[in-house]
Amino acid sequence: MTQRIRPGAVAALALLLAAATGCTGHQPTPPASSGHPAARGVGGGHAEGPRPFTLLTAGDVLPHSSVIDRAAADAGGAGYDFAPMLAGVAPVVSGADLAFCHMETVYGKKGGPYTGYPSFKSPPEIASALRATGFDSCSTASNHTLDDGAEGVRRTLDALDGAGIRHAGSARTAAEAARPTILSAGPGEHAAKVAHLAYTYGTNGKPLPADRPWTVDVTDERRIIEEARAARRAGADVVVLSLHWGTEWQDEPDARQRELARRITASTDRGRPDIDVVAGTHAHVPQAYEKVNGVWVVYGMGDQIAGAMINDEGVQDPRGNQSSMARFTFAPPAEAGGRWTVKKAEFVPQWYDTATGRAVNLNAAIDGGAGHLRGVRDRIRAVVLSRGAEGDGLRMGE
């Protein structure tokens, strides 16, 4: 994790906001209802059989001190309110049948103290804001998962549970770690079952607790495949893998990312891939999408929420506040037991405005008159498409 620059004062809400507004705890399968309004998702018939569904994944939620200060100001002196900073992207998030976030940090005790870089302890109020935005599950495996030891993990997962958000990648007990996180993609008995797995490359040198080695899932190809197959046996139709990986501040996926993606997507069982989507985090900057062995891999979405940051060359880098949200529409198989396939692949470019403390849907903002953001949007698009994804059908979504 690289350092952020703390602004001297919270800026007033810009006119741009008006234009733009418009994370293992593996747990048993919840009730079929996703908990979101009936307007969610692709809708349509299929009353007597499986129906298509949309899956959205978003980048790192990384509350630096400036982000925490913004949430305190938005709460008006009554705790912390993170919902306003996510309101600009809430329509996109809540519009999906399932939405996954990446909660990079752990939560501190209620009332604080809370800390930013380099050892994070975030306000637990983030969890309720993520739920209000429309997120259903969060990956919680990152290099900061052990910033406050096993207690930090417990507090984080307790808060996510309390907000009604599932989680994958860290756990409070061995039994919890052994159970796959499986969610229903909409209401009804015919809704697709989607498994969420999450792993991190490491924990910043902090050792796993000797008596709790299952506290966080550290990347291991064999374990990933075993967990994916266990999720299939538990009823999962689609398996989504969140990976905290890659090289910070590097637009291009590194060799280890590319090789792991190739190996994992090549793994199959009974004619189906073990992993259906790979969603990457950690690099702080948007990275490419690519179809590898017929499986969509998002090498890096960038930071959905983060303070202004300094890159590894000691320079403030605006790329650290640029990201994309990935949205995939899955179609059911022609025959029972077959593979669910992605019939539509999209990315939605996003920017976090550090001056106002607001996440901005760039297409909505530009359509609303914020033409000065066109260059930011176009840079994200160029990076996302840099490995030929457009030829495989990836499109920029609204």
Contact 66, 11 (CB under 8 A): no
| Ordered structural domains, the chain, with CATH | 4-396 (3.60.21.10)
Tracing tokens 């009974």 back to the chain, one arrives at 270
Give residue 47's pLDDT band: very low, low, confident or very high (50, 70, 90).
low
Which residues face 100 on adjacent strands?
57, 137
DSSP state of 213: T
Question: Which residues touch 221 (CB under 8 Å, ≥6 apart)?
Answer: 260, 263, 264
d(CA 114, CA 346): 36
Residues 185-235 pLDDT 10s = 988 889 999 999 999 999 999 999 999 999 999 999 999 999 999 999 999
Whether 43 shows a pLDDT value over 90: the answer reads: no
- Among candidate residues 322, 317, 318, the one with its CA nearest the CA of residue 301: 322
Mean pLDDT across the stretch 370-393? 98
Mean pLDDT across the stretch 253-282? 97
Give residue 2's pLDDT band: very low, low, confident or very high (50, 70, 90).
very low
Give residue 12's pLDDT band: very low, low, confident or very high (50, 70, 90).
very low
User: Taking the alpha carbons of 282, 225, 297, 166 in that order, is the dihedral positive or negative?
Assistant: negative
Residues 51-98 pLDDT 10s = 999 999 999 999 999 999 999 999 998 999 999 999 999 999 999 999
Q: Token pair for residue 292?
A: 């590898």
- Specify the pLDDT at position 19: 35
Q: pTM (2 decimals)?
A: 0.89
Helix, strand, coil shares, percent, the chain, to 5: 25, 25, 45
Q: Token pair for residue 341?
A: 């396939």
